[in-house]
Amino acid sequence: MIEKQLNDFLWWQKEIVYQIYPRSYKDTNGDGIGDLKGIREKLDHIKDLGINVVWISPIYPSPMADFGYDVSDYTGIHPMFGTMEDFDELLAAIHDKGMKLILDYVPNHSSSEHQWFKDSRRSKDDPKRDWYIWKDPAPDGGPPNNWLSVFGGSAWEYDETTNQYYYHAFLKEQPDLNWRNPEVKKAMFDVLRFWMDKGVDGFRVDVMWHMIKDEQFRDNPPNPDYTEDKSPYDKHLQAYTTDQPEVLDLVKEMRKVTDEYDERLIIGEIYLPVEQLVMYYGDNNNGAHLPFNFQLVLIPWKAAEIKAVIDKYEGALPAEAWPNWVLGNHDQSRLATRIGTEQARNAAILLLTLRGTPTIYYGEEIGMQDVHIPPEMVKDPQEKNIPGKGLGRDPERTPMQWDSTEYAGFSDKEPWLPLMENYKKINVEQEKDDENSMLSFYQKLIALRQKELSFSNWKI
């Protein structure tokens, strides 16, 4: 009976998602930075794990102020990663292996080097002016309101060309697009169509809950629970800059675009409490297919708290909504560092036996840990702007460890970020023939999950 019912399930309800941070997966051209050909070269590793869905973090042209999350061309490929031909060959190879490809979609903001923004800042009368969020200074000449940037300081940048401020939720090099403008909406939805026309199977939507801001530009209220050890961004409650009611309508429109194509997937990056998170499924599940559930990343690793989080999430899910679970990503300290190597095995058991779609971050399958980054080697703009608070994301973005050679089989040149000191013990080559290794553990777990479908679909 279960097997018959499962025939009606969509591909993303039956599979595991594997996130690749492309700068750090495999370098084939000797520049110390991963590329598309490197991902293609290592597809068999992912397939052998039993995983059939690959999500690749941004690969678009970008000045790399925020390592690809500042996009200067939404329908191109950064030469650092290869060419459009390389992308097409990768997509074809993925599909030839019966796998799916998910791309990162970065709709909240572009790069300040995008032609749209260059036009927008040219004059108040430029046709692209309202594609971004511009406001006059406050009466004292300062920023229009108290909104803060996630990466430190005011979220408003003064531009002398027109004597106005533009809004940027992140770096000043990442101006926010104005999604209240129908022309922006059309242009960005056409970006989705461009990639789906190529055959891309879905999108992970970056900072989905940021996409609409308060139309009255009211000040955010102070956070009564703020302490100095937290990010300065947390001084305010984001009452008027995130999770606005209109975002949910926008997500439904995005879903309509993907529904023009067969079985395409929308995953939303949303850091919100469960009660707000589940709203992004939409009425009658017409929103995001999978609003990312980060609860297991954010809570203390204690049995009672884990059980409570699972029960609360399951209880909050709308009827027919499909759950998902995440243990790590490119913005969070690695699992084996957060909770320890032994507990990481328990976490893998939990992830791969819970109902719903799991996401695995590259390197988790071999037990990679955070790497200490000396101050002079820090690349992450968040750490540079807000040092000393543990907000840096470089430690979890270091190169994949393939073997015991000088640069861990990642490159024949020193990588863009340093390797773990113990990479000669923790690597794919070393672990693949060791039945007690983390890699073997993941392979067995995934094989069991695929064999015993009740693990991932017990509530059907």
109 has which bridge partners? 176
| 254 in the same domain as 155 | no
CA quadruple 140, 141, 142, 146: dihedral positive or negative?
Answer: positive
| 145 in the same domain as 271 | no
In a domain, 144, yes or no: yes
pLDDT band (50, 70, 90) for residue 7: low
Which of the following is catalytic: 27, 66, 173, 206? 206
In a domain, 225, yes or no: yes
In a domain, 17, yes or no: yes
Give Rg (Cα) of the chain: 22
In a domain, 308, yes or no: yes
Determine the pLDDT at residue 2.
47
Told to judge if 234 belongs to the known catalytic residues of this protein, a careful annotator would answer: no
| 153 in the same domain as 97 | no
In a domain, 176, yes or no: no
pLDDT band (50, 70, 90) for residue 457: low
How large a percentage of the chain has pLDDT more than 70? 97
Distance CA 270, CA 276 (A): 9
Asked if residues 184 and 131 have their Cβ atoms less than 8 Å apart, the reply is: yes
Report the pLDDT averaged over residues 170-184. Answer: 98
Sheet holding 164-167, edge to edge: 134-135, 164-167, 156-159
For the chain, the domain total comes to 2
Tell how far CA 30 is from the center of its chain: 26
In a domain, 172, yes or no: no
Q: Tell which phi-psi region holds residue 388, choosing left (phi > 0), alpha (psi between -120 and 50) or beta.
A: left
| 380 in the same domain as 281 | yes
| Cα–Cα separations (whole angstroms), residue 199 to 12, 100, 134 | 16, 9, 36
Tell how far CA 182 is from the center of its chain: 26
In a domain, 173, yes or no: no
Report whether pLDDT(308) > 60.
yes
Determine the pLDDT at residue 434.
97
Each residue's pLDDT tens digit, 34-88 = 999 999 999 999 999 999 999 999 999 999 999 999 999 999 999 999 999 999 9
- Domain of residue 157, CATH code: 3.90.400.10
| 314 in the same domain as 198 | yes
Question: Residue 55 phi/psi, 5° resolution?
Answer: -110, 125
Single residue among 138, 167, 196 that ends a domain in this structure? 167
Report whether pLDDT(105) > 60.
yes
| 144 in the same domain as 26 | no
Q: What is the mean pLDDT of the chain?
A: 96
pLDDT band (50, 70, 90) for residue 330: very high
* Domain limits for position 131: 115-167
Farthest CA pair distance, the chain: 70
Which of the following is catalytic: 269, 364, 380, 431? 269
| 269 in the same domain as 339 | yes
Q: Cβ atoms within 10 A of the Cβ of 3, count? A: 7
Determine the pLDDT at residue 454.
76
Segment among 7-16, 137-146, 179-188 with least mean pLDDT: 7-16
Class of residue 307 by CB neighbours under 10 A (exposed 0-12, middle 13-18, buried 19+): exposed
Determine the pLDDT at residue 284.
93
| Eight-class DSSP state of 233 | G
| 198 in the same domain as 100 | yes
Report whether pLDDT(305) > 70.
yes
Asked if residues 313 and 293 have their Cβ atoms less than 8 Å apart, the reply is: yes
| 280 in the same domain as 241 | yes
Q: Cβ atoms within 10 A of the Cβ of 160, count? A: 6
In a domain, 134, yes or no: yes
| 104 in the same domain as 201 | yes
| 401 in the same domain as 315 | yes
Told to judge if 269 belongs to the known catalytic residues of this protein, a careful annotator would answer: yes
- Extract the runs of DSSP E, i.e. beta strands, from 16-175: 17-20, 53-56, 100-105, 134-135, 156-159, 164-167
- Domain of residue 91, CATH code: 3.20.20.80
Question: Residue 95 phi/psi, 5° resolution?
Answer: -70, -35
Q: According to the 3-state scheme, what is the secondary structure of 295-355?
A: HHHHCCCCHHHHHHHHHHHHHHCCCCCCCEEECCCCCCCCHHHHHCHHHHHHHHHHHHHCC
| Cα–Cα separations (whole angstroms), residue 443 to 145, 341, 390, 433, 453 | 52, 17, 32, 12, 16
| 326 in the same domain as 299 | yes
